[in-house]
Amino acid sequence: MDELTLEKFEEAAEIVKQVTLETKLVYSEYFSAQTGNRVYFKPENMQYTGAYKVRGAYYKISTLSDEEKARGLITASAGNHAQGVAYAARLAGVKATVVMPTTTPLIKVNRTKGYGAQVVLEGDVFDEACAHAYRLAEEHGYTFVHPFDDLDVAAGQGSIAMEIIKELPTVDYILVPIGGGGLCTGVSTLAKLLNPKIKVIGVEPAGANCMQESLRQGKVVTLPGVNTIADGTAVKRPGEKLFPYIQEYVDDIITIDDNELIVAFLDMVENHKMIVENSGLLTVAALKHIQAEKKKIVSILSGGNMDVITLSSIVQHGLIQRDRVFTVSVLLPDKPGELARVADLLAQEHGNIIKLEHNQFISINRNAAVELRITMEAFGTEHKNQIVAALTNAGYRPKLVKVKGTYSEM
């Protein structure tokens, strides 16, 4: 517990300035109004590599000997540490190999290759990729750079706390995403060294809460599996070297369901015009779980590397959750003019039709009823209810259709 000293953090903070962009705090009027606190974001999603991970990677490489660098580096990562190591290694003139899970978003794979690293895809989750990276390191003699369970890496990540406190000395809470615990270790340790009154809250996905479970049991434990859209924090086992620091300096752990991340993504896009990946959104979703008022809270947005397909899916699911896209089923006689009547009614209620599905085989008696499924845009829950009420009053007996991925079947 004596390795992460203030002097080490100060050294790391100076060194990482060579590769990081200045990420000034962003005040959020929207989330401040929502929570009754003064909310700021630390936008590490705006770093050159799209995430904070370059900090720890670059500082770690700076501590290696020439012999260790000459052997070449290897690491395992779900994406952001991969890019950090690849970029830092290129600047240092060192060869790097990165093992990534086969489920890693394509944008993270391509960018890692773009920084000059050799990429190996192995395993479904980080832990399997990491085990393969260790095997390759032993086989080829590479120098292993752990993505989180390394105190030099944690010191580099801790430079974020230095910047936060310099810019906002009176900060009350710092919210930190947790995967393996490197970022949270660095930030919480330095924050407490500088001001023990600052509360540091770790935030994990509910489907990958390895640190919360380890703290509950008082020892590092391995989850049987992980299931979360927050791929950057989908870790089954936290860092052994980091765990004592987390026990000592982290005030609480909050877990977040995937559905909360979807809503947080929409909020960030619409209110801050920011693309933040799911792991980075953990601290945004956690704002509503903080039992405090009139406090200065900083949420660390750890990264923004999200592929377009995932982005599109999250937007769609977010709109459905907010009742801004919904599907309703109505029954109507199979005769000319009925479809026009429904369309006219929806136009009067300002519902914007996205898709129509006309099923003539819902009933044997087509004169009695055919099914019309309408997917449409609304302004929100109140507007959706207004449209459904108008259909009910017109005698169509509407039923909301459960949308796959968000609701159960009708």
Number of domains composing the chain? 3
Let me know if residue 407 belongs to a domain. no
219 and 247 share one domain:
yes
Domain end among 144, 165, 183: 144
238 and 356 share one domain:
no
Let me know if residue 80 belongs to a domain. yes
Let me know if residue 159 belongs to a domain. yes
Beta bridge partners of 51: 303
136 and 195 share one domain:
no
Percentage with pLDDT > 90 across the chain? 75
290 and 262 share one domain:
yes
> Residue 247's domain is classified under what CATH number?
3.40.50.1100
34 and 72 share one domain:
no
276 and 207 share one domain:
yes
Query: What pLDDT digit, counting tens, does each position of 363-390 carry?
Result: 656 555 788 899 999 999 999 999 999 9
264 and 224 share one domain:
yes
Let me know if residue 406 belongs to a domain. no
109 and 10 share one domain:
no
**Residue range(s) defining the domain that contains residue 77:** 54-144
Q: Which of 151, 142, 155, 149 is nearest to 126 (CA)?
A: 149
Domain end among 144, 179, 204: 144
Query: What pLDDT digit, counting tens, does each position of 182-221 carry?
Result: 999 999 999 999 999 999 999 999 999 999 999 999 999 9
Mean pLDDT of the region 349-365: 79
pTM: 0.85
Instruction: Determine whether 53 is an active site residue.
Output: yes
Instruction: Determine whether 69 is an active site residue.
Output: no
Let me know if residue 285 belongs to a domain. yes
Give the pLDDT of residue 364. 58
Q: Is 111 helix (H, G, I), strand (E, B) or coil?
A: helix
Catalytic residue, candidates 53, 236, 241, 384: 53
Residue 205's φ and ψ, nearest 5 degrees, are: -70, 140
Give the pLDDT of residue 362. 62
Q: How far apart are CA 288 and CA 295, in angstroms?
A: 13
Let me know if residue 405 belongs to a domain. no
Q: How far apart are CA 144 and CA 158, in angstroms?
A: 21
292 and 159 share one domain:
yes
197 and 233 share one domain:
yes
Let me know if residue 409 belongs to a domain. no
Tell whether the model's pLDDT for residue 405 goes beyond 60: no
Per-chain mean pLDDT for the chain: 91
Query: What pLDDT digit, counting tens, does each position of 272-301 carry?
Result: 999 999 999 999 999 999 999 999 999 999
Q: How far apart are CA 190 and CA 182, in angstroms?
A: 12
Let me know if residue 408 belongs to a domain. no
Tell whether the model's pLDDT for residue 410 goes beyond 50: no
Beta bridge partners of 73: 96, 143
58 and 45 share one domain:
no
Tell whether the model's pLDDT for residue 177 goes beyond 80: yes
Catalytic residue, candidates 28, 77, 279, 302: 302
Domain end among 263, 286, 317: 317
> Residue 333's domain is classified under what CATH number?
3.30.70.260
380 and 359 share one domain:
yes
Q: How far apart are CA 26 and CA 247, in angstroms?
A: 29
